[in-house]
Homo-oligomer: A and B are copies of this chain.
């Protein structure tokens, strides 16, 4: 029973911290506010996670697990479209990733995906117009091109642009 309470408090802290970090970033987030929303004391929050930076890390791995999107080298336009959808449905995810980039300066390295692209290029399934790591970055940039903008009624047009643009860039 005690363990279950602990588990629930941790869950509430992660959920509250996700909202707080997405809104304010690491420097702007307040542990007191997170604790208040999670209905526990700031002391307990520090006790469970050590500090704001550690809590940010915990939120990031929690979110990464919950929203994993499988990379699909054989359908890069479709992958870009799904990544666009994910960011459209959860704008806080894109904000969190951007805060991470700005405040941590440690881009996630995706060596396996670059390798998959390289193989697909060798087999002629993806155009060799651009080097493999440039292809991955193009796909991510186009998929995220609207991530910072306010949502609009243009959703369908935006999604079609993402898929069509990636298709035009990667088709052999």
Contacts and interface: CB of A to CB of B under 8 A. Distances in A.
A110 B37 CA distance: 39
Contact of A98 (B102, B131, B149, B168): B102
A149 B101 CA distance: 8
Contacts of A102: 25, 95, 98-99, 102, 148
Interface in A89-146: 95, 98-99, 101-103, 105, 107, 129-131, 133-134, 137-138, 140-142, 144-146
This chain: copies in complex: 2
A65 interface: no
Contact of A24 (B27, B141, B161): B27
A110 to B, nearest CB: 12
A158 interface: yes
A42 interface: no
Contacts of A146: 137
Contacts of A134: 157-158, 161
Contacts of A154: 133
Interface of A: 24-25, 27-28, 95, 98-99, 101-103, 105, 107, 129-131, 133-134, 137-138, 140-142, 144-146, 148-150, 154, 157-158, 161, 164-165, 168-169
* 5 nearest A-B pairs in the assembled complex, by CB-CB distance: A27-B28, A141-B145, A134-B161, A101-B148, A141-B141
10 contacts: A25-B25, A25-B102, A25-B103, A28-B103, A101-B148, A102-B148, A130-B164, A131-B157, A133-B154, A134-B157
